[in-house]
A and B are shown apart, each in its own frame.
Chain A
Amino acid sequence: MSDAAVKTLSDSDVVVSVRIRVARNLAGFPFTGRASDAQRQEVLQMVTHAPLGGAFPNGLAWVNMNQASAQERQLLVERHLVSKHFAESTLPRALGLGHSEELGVMVNEEDHLRIQSILPGSRLNDAFELARSFDQALEETVDFAFHPRWGYLTACPTNVGCGIRLGAMLHLPALRYSGEIERVKRAAKDLHLAVRGYYGEGTDAIGNFYQVSNQVTLGASEEELLQHFRDEVIPKLVDYERTARQMLLEKNRPLIEDKVYRARATLKVARLLGAEEATKLLSTLRFGISTGLLHNLTIERVEQLLLQVQPAHLAQIHPFAAEEENGRLSRALLVRRALGDYVEGSPES
């Protein structure tokens, strides 16, 4: 096994996924917000019909967002493949999907192009390469808006320069329980990092999942940004969380065990489960697995459930969940089947 692969596996206790987002605009067109519908259509045509060389041998699947149903659009939001803003817009727009959803391209978001690659674990390099391969393949066909001084131009001046944002979704329960998270947030601010809750739009991070991303996109090369984020930012946060976990377990083991086992018990027996409650409890299970308190359950399975308990995903699995007011009955059933008395094979798949 290569060093990189070992590192990937060993980080999964804290790093859920990594994300690279690249903002680009076609030269010669106003940005999406100020373009005419005809211009937006033209941008759409140019991007969706661009030959991508050998970069994507299987091509990209293009989803016309105006033809997608509300539930389908919500599904894409829950998978973090599109922004809420993009899902709710009515402009001519499309989502390109490639590499088994590892690469997504929003056309006519705030910028003409928002290329995004999300990969599980700490595979930042791979995510970077994926996003770059699309960026460069497209650049063979179209000209991007570029300024000698400001680099790649974007609708919002906070994205200029490389136009690249690196992000990591981190699971930081111990930092949250110990109250250290506020200190982390302050330190992150000094390092020009943004820290947001991954679930829930507000500052409150449901389930203690946080999205950490770089704020500065200008004045450093793509490689420097990547290197700093990969070799300094993420390892530091991972270390910090691990230390907090150790301290908690040493000083307060019964409390942590109680939390983890109660969460498992609740998920096993609950008859009604809200999405937020399920997310919080599953987060606690994830914490239990990564601290060695829970066996017979994998992080991958918990992560799959975290996705499946989101409303649009749930409705896909249980069509009647959509009719139920909040899908609480269906959600509880789904989770009980996955963790509870039904546990033989995986009946729901």
Chain B
Amino acid sequence: MKCDLCDKPALVHEVVIQNGKRVEMHLCTEHAAAKGYVLPTVPVMQMLQQFASTGKAIKAQKSAARRCEACGLTFAEFRQTGRFGCAACYDAFMPSVAAIIERAQSGAVSHRGRTPKRIEGQADRAAIRRQLVKEIEAAVAAEQYERAATLQGRLHQLGMKTNPAADPPTES
């Protein structure tokens, strides 16, 4: 993206609300400095990398290209319709799915109701634990501590520990 005021690449991106209107600003290093933005004193390349890892646009692009192998639905298609194509989509689009569901379900992180009779006894506790542990790690990495705590609580509720060794050896 180019600077709003010249042809150089923009390094400062900001969305400001002016008189109730959303205004996007994109400025190059010089023009940003001239406008009074204090730029962090880190090498440009490093800053770009930070943009790459935290920039929402880039992240969204990546996840939009993800595809469910079972039914072929892309995440972008899901985004458009809000509908999954098949049961496998739920795992294919993790962890985005978890975030979406938890938001839609006002923070609930897992099912507590009935289990179909046929799979009742064999409900795979190890799989639930594996998944929850994975998500706790992801939440901590993303500094979503509150969410991590909720997931942790769920794990305890299931009588499981974060440490796999503490769980009965149902895992192969």
User: Smallest Cβ distance from B69 to chain A, in angstroms?
Assistant: 12
Contact A157 B104, CB 8 Å, known A25-B87, A31-B86, A147-B87: yes
Q: Which of B53-61, B117-125, B159-167 contacts A (4 or more CB under 8 A)?
A: B117-125
Q: Which of B23-31, B37-45, B106-114 contacts A (4 or more CB under 8 A)?
A: B106-114
Asked if A18 is an interface residue, CB under 8 A from chain B, the answer is no
Complex interface: chain B residues within 8 A of A12 (CB): none
Q: Which of A149, A162, A220 has the most CB of B within 10 A?
A: A149
Which A residues between 222 and 273 are near B, CB-CB below 8 angstroms? 222, 224-225
Number of interchain pairs (Cβ within 8 Å): 116
Please report the total number of B residues contacting A with Cβ < 8 Å.
39
User: Smallest Cβ distance from A217 to chain B, in angstroms?
Assistant: 7
Instruction: Give B82's nearest chain A residue, CB to CB.
Output: A156
Contact of B115 among A27, A146, A218 (CB under 8 A): A146
Contact A144 B116 (CB under 8 A): yes
Give A221 to B91 CA distance when docked, in angstroms.
Answer: 23
Complex interface: chain B residues within 8 A of A139 (CB): 116-118
Contact with A along B116-140 (1 / 0, CB 8 A): 1111000111011001100000000
Contact B118 A143 (CB under 8 A): yes
Instruction: Give A221's nearest chain B residue, CB to CB.
Output: B113
Give A224 to B112 CA distance when docked, in angstroms.
Answer: 10
Asked if B101 is an interface residue, CB under 8 A from chain A, the answer is yes
Contact A157 B87, CB 8 Å, known A148-B128, A149-B111, A192-B106: no
Complex interface: chain A residues within 8 A of B124 (CB): 148
Which B residues between 46 and 81 are near A, CB-CB below 8 angstroms? 70-73, 81
Contact B110 A218 (CB under 8 A): yes
Q: Which of A25, A146, A158, A218 has the most CB of B within 10 A?
A: A218
Instruction: Give A222's nearest chain B residue, CB to CB.
Output: B113
Asked if A219 is an interface residue, CB under 8 A from chain B, the answer is yes
Complex interface: chain B residues within 8 A of A219 (CB): 105, 107-112
User: Smallest Cβ distance from A123 to chain B, in angstroms?
Assistant: 21
Contact of A145 among B87, B114, B115, B123 (CB under 8 A): B87
Interface residues, chain B, with chain A CB atoms under 8 Å away: 70-73, 81-87, 90-91, 97, 100-101, 104-119, 123-125, 127-128, 131-132
- A-B interface, 3 closest residue pairs, ranked by CB to CB distance from nearest: A219-B108, A151-B111, A34-B85
Known: A25-B87, A148-B111, A153-B90. 5 other contacts (CB 8 A): A147-B111, A149-B132, A156-B82, A216-B108, A221-B112
Interface residues, chain A, with chain B CB atoms under 8 Å away: 25, 27, 29-31, 33-34, 110, 136, 139-140, 143-158, 160-162, 164, 192, 215-222, 224-225
